[in-house]
Amino acid sequence: MSDISPELSAVELIKEIARSLVDKPEAVSVSETPNEGGTALHLRVDPTDVGKIIGKQGRTARSLRTILGAVSVKVHHRYSLEIVEIAKTDAAPQE
């Protein structure tokens, strides 16, 4: 049996898939928080890459969630995926 916990492998899986989809793979991060009945994974990418992760009509995001659902069945642990949109910080504040 593997020494890697299911949480780590799910985090790494989502991180690697996301890195292959975006233009700035160094900006990809995945964090996890326990919630009722499972674990929520929070995917953060560069603001310019959010559209690539969501995809047309949400198809890419839905596919990521489907893959995560398959992992959930395999390891008997429920995962959910949240794509966190971070506002661009380079914009000047408006007064």
In CATH, what number does 6-84 get?
3.30.300.20
pLDDT surpasses 90 at 3: no
Which pLDDT value is given to residue 16?
95
Q: Give pLDDT tens digits for 16-70.
A: 999 999 999 999 999 999 988 899 999 999 999 999 999 999 999 999 999 999 9
pTM over 0.85: no
pLDDT surpasses 90 at 83: yes
Contact 52, 60 (CB under 8 A): yes
Half-sphere CA count of 69, side-chain side, radius 13 A: 6
Q: Of 88 and 63, which is predicted with more confidence?
A: 63
Half-sphere CA count of 90, side-chain side, radius 13 A: 3
Name the DSSP class of 11: H
Contact 92, 57 (CB under 8 A): no
